[in-house]
């Protein structure tokens, strides 16, 4: 009995290794562009455009990174991007509030409101792009970070996730707070929001990533460098591919590495959040 058991265990282990090998190869293919990016961001320019290419730099230099901040305006772009992340987090609060309203105050009119939110999930960005531009333009909010953030401030998918989660908060908990005389706003901040921590973490992370990466709206809605984000700044570099790949790779690394670190720290919460959202 123990012999067959240990044999089965050994077979299981062999199977795990057999699965791990192709899986690792695939993961390396996924990661290769990032390795290539970091390696070339610390090469000298002549080495980065030499053929045949070398994976590791023979001589390390951070000149490309310095150039981003001294000769180019990347500090300014970065501050804009950080501001957009901040505005995005305000949007996250509005998203959570809407989810709470739809979950805990049922009524026919609000039901239709929720349906309308769900409808917008199907609409492609290219359909809304021109009218949205017209709307923001008419409101005089182009070349303005708030105007740039507005079109994507509330995500329908986020409202949906918050509602699904908050509907499971027991009514008795909220009712008890009401009897104790707590205001509706206080109940939301002191009870509903803390209870929804798992979904808040996932949505918060997705919001930060999306705001940090935001590209299309800043591109369409800015006509001067004043409101450019890191993505837009990097795309300007992108137009001059043959000039200096090391600066481009440094810019890409500057954008990518904070997100990678953030994601690595929080990846368990993301899988858990998707499990909890009930898509299965």
Partner 1 sequence: MQSSPAPGGLAASDRRPLPRRPVARAASHRRPTSRWAGWGFALPALALVAVFGLMPILVAAGVSFTDLDIAGLAHPETIRLVGAANYVQLAGDPEFWAAFALTAGYVVVGVPLIAVLALAVATGLNRSDGRFFRLLRTLYFLPAVTALVAISVIWKYMFNGQFGLFNWLLDLVGLPAVNWLSDPASAQIAVGLVAVWRAIGLNSIILLAALQGVPGEQLEAAALDGAGPVRRYLYVVLPQIRFALGFVVMTTLIGWLQFFDEPFVLTDGGPVGATTSLSLFLFKRGFRLNEFGYASAGSIVLLVTIAAVTLIQLRLRKAHD
User: From the CB of 66, what's the least distance to partner 1, in Å?
Assistant: 18
Q: Position of tokens 């290219």?
A: 126
User: From the CB of 169, what's the least distance to partner 1, in Å?
Assistant: 13
User: How many Cβ atoms from other residues are within 10 Å of residue 97's Cβ?
Assistant: 18
Q: Rounded to an integer, what distance in angstroms lies between the CA atom of residue 97 and that of residue 253?
A: 35
Q: Position of tokens 């610390």?
A: 42
SS3 assignment, position 273: helix
SS3 assignment, position 42: coil
Give the distance, in angstroms, between the CA of residue 153 and the centroid of all CA atoms in the same chain. 13
- In angstroms and rounded to an integer, the radius of gyration of the C-alpha atoms of the chain is 24
User: From the CB of 2, what's the least distance to partner 1, in Å?
Assistant: 19
Helices and strands (DSSP H and E) totals, the chain: 15, 0
User: From the CB of 36, what's the least distance to partner 1, in Å?
Assistant: 6
- Is the dihedral angle over the CA atoms 18, 270, 88, 107 positive or is it negative? positive
User: From the CB of 226, what's the least distance to partner 1, in Å?
Assistant: 19
User: From the CB of 148, what's the least distance to partner 1, in Å?
Assistant: 12
CA distances, 36 to each of 74, 198, 240, 250 (Å): 22, 35, 19, 11
């Amino acid at each position: 009995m123990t012999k067959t058991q240990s044999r089965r265990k050994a077979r299981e282990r062999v199977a795990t290794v057999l699965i791990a090998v192709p899986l690792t190869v695939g993961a390396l293919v996924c990661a290769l562009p990032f390795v290539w990016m970091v390696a070339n961001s610390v090469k000298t320019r002549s080495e980065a455009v030499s053929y045949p290419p070398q994976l590791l730099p023979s001589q390390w230099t951070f000149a490309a990174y310095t150039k981003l901040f001294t000769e180019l305006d990347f500090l300014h772009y970065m501050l804009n991007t950080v501001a957009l992340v901040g505005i995005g987090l305000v949007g996250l609060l509005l998203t959570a509030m809407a989810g709470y309203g739809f979950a805990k105050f049922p009524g026919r009119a609000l039901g239709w409101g929720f349906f309308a939110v769900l409808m917008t999930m199907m609409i492609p960005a290219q359909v809304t792009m021109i009218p949205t531009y017209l709307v923001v333009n008419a409101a005089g909010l182009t070349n303005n970070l708030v105007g740039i953030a507005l079109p994507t401030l509330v995500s329908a998918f986020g409202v949906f996730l918050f509602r699904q989660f908050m509907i499971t908060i027991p009514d008795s908990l909220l009712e008890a707070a009401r009897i104790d005389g707590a205001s509706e706003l206080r109940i939301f901040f002191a009870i509903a929001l803390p209870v929804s921590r798992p979904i808040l973490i996932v949505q918060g992370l997705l919001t930060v990533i999306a705001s940090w990466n935001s590209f299309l709206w800043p591109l369409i809605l800015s006509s001067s460098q004043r409101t450019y984000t890191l993505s837009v700044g990097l795309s300007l570099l992108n137009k001059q591919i043959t000039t200096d790949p090391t600066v481009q790779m440094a810019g890409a690394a500057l954008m990518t590495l904070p997100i990678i670190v953030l994601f690595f720290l929080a990846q368990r919460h993301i899988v858990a959040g998707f499990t909890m959202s009930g898509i299965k």
